């Protein structure tokens, strides 16, 4: 007997990238997170809070907080540095700006992106406005990092090479994902929110040449865009589901080459937040290998900055593109993207902490003279290793004619060269020295036990921060 096979006239609909992510996010649960992912997320929250507190002392965050606090609006969420609560979209914007101002926030080298400064401010503001708990916040942040890092990795390095600041262009997807998880969106609503987020992603790297002060606007707007996207999706707005891979989508508009192979590999089991690095220098990450190597040579050989006759750094092309200009900076913000100036500061002070980037340092004659003797270039060795390795060779010549050299494949703080829990705590406390010690300890303790607290327990402490 032969059976007749009926073919459906309807073809199986292929899910878009955003629909695949949305399906996972709508089903994600805190109980599915491994303990090490929860602990890493809490440490990254600590790191985010520390760089935000230090960032509040800088000019652009001060301007941002002053403006946003002056606006009328429902008091939903805590904006660090403000005297009262503000609408969640304003808290997300203000806190995103403060977090990136120091340029000491966490990142993911395979994507050339800083997910935290877009995801965490949006998630914290939204969670506080909904009166949610720490477990819900942690889950949302993990999900936000997941889409930011996976999409950024697929677009890197072409996206950066085209002149886009990935933290702003892709960070908004993570902010929307986090807020969508907090809002309990279903998969259709989540996909629409992500589509609307993709429409809002923006950030031009021209700020490396001019206007470095306002670079933090990129993650601030990304955080704000995530909140907006979810609020609209809750109300029934429909975003484009093909916003990434569509004929006129983000991929074709913002990159010459995108590799989506393995985009969803391990989704739900291989958490990309575990690949996050943290910074120990308040400068662009591309400068860190050179600073690490320089300071290592100086410590081992007991050298002073006066003994350095010349310094040559060989690194990967993206680092030279971002930070290799021979023109010395005229502002503190621009100095963060000057390899020569930052290396000279490191040699002069012995560190490149947040307090080093000031106009006095930029105008320091001895530092400028040393910076003028720092040269940099790229070579094939590092070009081929990028982004698996983001390193540098450092060659130092002393005034007495001695030569020293070192190779640094990965800066301190990368998963393969990890920061300890104590490193996280030390960095946080150093960045929060402007605050009362008792308040700093309360913020730290509450953050590290966030999975046992309401989000309001932490934000209430952040509302007590003292600013200039």
State the pLDDT confidence band at 2, using cuts at 50, 70 and 90.
very low
Q: What are phi and psi of 346, to 5 degrees?
A: -60, -45
Model confidence at 442: pLDDT above 50 = yes
In angstroms, the Cα distances linking 221 to 107, 132, 202, 346 are: 18, 23, 8, 32
CA 160 vs. chain centroid, Å, equals 14
DSSP letters, 155-181, are HTTHHHHTTB-HHHHTHHHHHHHHHHH
Class of 285-408 in CATH = alpha beta
State the pLDDT confidence band at 9, using cuts at 50, 70 and 90.
very low
For residues 173-184, one letter each, b for 16 or more C-beta atoms within 10 angstroms of the residue's C-beta and e for the rest, the string is: bbbbbbbbbbbe
* Long-range interactions of 182-185: CB distance < 8 A, separation 24+: 182/123, 182/126, 182/127, 182/130, 182/132, 182/136, 182/137, 182/140, 182/230, 183/126, 183/130, 183/230, 183/234, 185/25, 185/26, 185/230, 185/233, 185/234
Domain ranges of the chain: 17-275, 285-408
State the pLDDT confidence band at 354, using cuts at 50, 70 and 90.
confident
Q: pLDDT tens, 356-368?
A: 999 999 999 999 9
Q: pLDDT tens, 66-90?
A: 999 999 899 999 999 999 999 999 9
State the pLDDT confidence band at 468, using cuts at 50, 70 and 90.
low
State what percent of residues in the chain have pLDDT above 90. Answer: 94
Q: Which CATH architecture has domain 17-275?
A: Orthogonal Bundle (1.10)
CA distance 370 to 4: 84
Model confidence at 13: pLDDT above 60 = yes
What token pair was written down for 210? 């001019």
What token pair was written down for 154? 């697929």
The reported pLDDT for the residue numbered 355 is 85
**Which residues of 252-323 form beta strands (DSSP E)?**
308-315
**Which residues of 399-456 form beta strands (DSSP E)?**
403-408
Residue range 344-373: mean pLDDT, rounded: 94
CA distance 324 to 459: 40
State what percent of residues in the chain have pLDDT above 70. Answer: 97
β pairing state of 403-408 and 392-398: antiparallel
Average pLDDT of the residues of the chain:
95
């Amino acid at each position: 007997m032969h059976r007749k096979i009926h073919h459906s006239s309807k073809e199986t609909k292929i899910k878009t990238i955003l629909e695949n992510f949305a399906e996972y996010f709508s089903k994600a649960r805190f109980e599915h997170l491994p303990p090490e992912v929860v602990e890493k997320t809490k440490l990254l929250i600590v790191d985010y809070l520390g760089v935000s507190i230090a960032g509040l002392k800088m000019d652009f965050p001060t301007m941002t907080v002053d403006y946003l606090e002056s606006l009328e609006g429902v008091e939903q969420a805590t904006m660090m540095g403000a005297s009262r609560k503000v609408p969640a979209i304003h808290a997300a914007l203000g806190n995103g700006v403060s977090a990136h101002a120091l340029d000491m926030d966490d990142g993911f080298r395979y994507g050339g992106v800083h997910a935290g400064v877009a995801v965490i401010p949006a998630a914290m503001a939204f969670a506080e406005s909904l009166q949610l708990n720490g477990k819900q916040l942690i889950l949302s942040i993990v999900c936000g990092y997941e889409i930011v890092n996976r999409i950024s990795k697929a677009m890197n390095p072409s996206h950066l090479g085209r002149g886009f600041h990935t933290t702003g262009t892709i960070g908004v997807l993570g902010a929307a994902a986090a807020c969508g998880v907090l809002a309990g969106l279903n998969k259709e609503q989540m996909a629409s929110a992500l589509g609307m987020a993709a429409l809002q992603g923006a950030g031009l790297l021209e700020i490396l040449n001019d206007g470095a002060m306002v670079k933090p606007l990129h993650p601030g707007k990304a955080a704000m865009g995530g909140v907006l996207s979810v609020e609209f999706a809750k109300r029934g707005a429909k975003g484009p589901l093909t916003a990434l891979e569509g004929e006129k989508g983000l991929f074709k508009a913002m990159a010459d080459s995108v590799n989506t192979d393995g985009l969803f590999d391990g989704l739900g089991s291989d958490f990309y937040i575990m690949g996050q690095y943290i910074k120990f220098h308040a400068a662009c990450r591309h400068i860190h290998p050179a600073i690490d190597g320089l300071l290592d040579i100086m410590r081992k050989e007991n050298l002073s900055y006066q003994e350095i006759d010349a310094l040559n750094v060989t690194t990967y092309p993206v680092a030279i593109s971002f930070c290799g200009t021979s023109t010395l900076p005229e502002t503190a913000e621009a100095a963060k993207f000057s390899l020569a100036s930052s290396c000279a500061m490191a040699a002069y002070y012995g560190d490149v902490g947040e307090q080093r980037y000031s106009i006095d340092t930029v105008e320091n004659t001895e530092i400028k003279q040393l910076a003028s003797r720092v040269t940099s270039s790229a070579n094939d060795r590092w070009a081929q290793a990028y982004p698996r390795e983001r390193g540098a060779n450092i060659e130092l010549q002393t005034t007495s004619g001695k030569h020293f050299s070192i190779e640094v494949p990965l800066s301190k703080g990368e998963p393969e060269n990890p920061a300890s829990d104590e490193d996280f705590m030390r960095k946080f406390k150093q960045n929060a020295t402007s605050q009362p010690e008792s308040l700093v300890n309360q913020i730290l303790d509450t953050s590290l036990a966030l999975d046992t607290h309401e989000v309001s327990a932490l934000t209430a402490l952040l509302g007590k921060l003292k600013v200039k």
